[in-house]
Amino acid sequence: MEITDAQFEAANRRGAAKKSAFPAAIDVRYDKRISRIVISLASGLQIAFAPRDAQGLENARPVDLVDAEISSSGLGVHFPKLDVDLYIPALLEGFLGSKRWMAAQIGKVGGQASTQAKALASRENGKRGGRPRKLVAARFSPI
């Protein structure tokens, strides 16, 4: 696929707009003391988060995180031992993974919540016989 000059210029404009809207990363490190990845931004802001909270890093060992690199644009962080990239604008917007991955993480937390309403609903459901049993497909034996 060939890229036209117009497409190239449009991509450069989008990139420049993104760079002006978000501060660039100037340092990234894994802090073993607090078990957090710490990203320092040009604005003076630091982002620190547990690797388990970021898609692709949830099973990383500390040794996998120490050689992180900042992308040339300053808008990304690359973990070469894991071949994982994090996008700084997405981190600043509160996303540490894809929408699907984040929904699964939020669902885990919601499913573990124990509230009075859930307890009451469970008791009411129990009075009606509980959760319906799954139907098992009829098994046929060969003749």
Query: Beta strands of the chain (E only): which ranges?
Result: 25-31, 36-41, 46-49, 69-70, 76-79, 84-87
The token pair that represents 15 in the structure block:
């990139």
pTM metric for this prediction? 0.59
Residues in the chain: 143
pLDDT in tens, the chain (143 residues): 788 999 989 988 887 877 777 788 999 999 999 999 999 998 898 989 999 988 899 999 999 999 999 998 899 999 999 999 998 888 776 666 666 766 776 676 666 667 788 778 878 888 887 777 777 665 555 55
State the amino acid at position 118 in one-letter form.
Answer: K
pLDDT of residue 95: 61
pLDDT for 55 = 86
CA distance readout (Å), 49 to 16, 34, 46, 88, 104: 27, 10, 10, 13, 18
Looking at residue 69, its pLDDT comes to 96
Per-residue model confidence (pLDDT) at position 111 = 65
What is the model's pLDDT at position 125? 80
Taking the C-alpha atoms of residue 142 and residue 99, their distance in angstroms, rounded to an integer, is: 47
Instruction: Tell me the domain boundaries of the chain.
Output: 5-97
Predicted pLDDT of residue 84: 95
The pLDDT, as a whole number, for residue 140 is: 57
- Topology of domain 5-97 in CATH is NE0471 N-terminal domain-like (3.30.2020)
Please check whether residue 55 is in contact with residue 101, taking contact to mean a CB–CB distance below 8 angstroms: yes
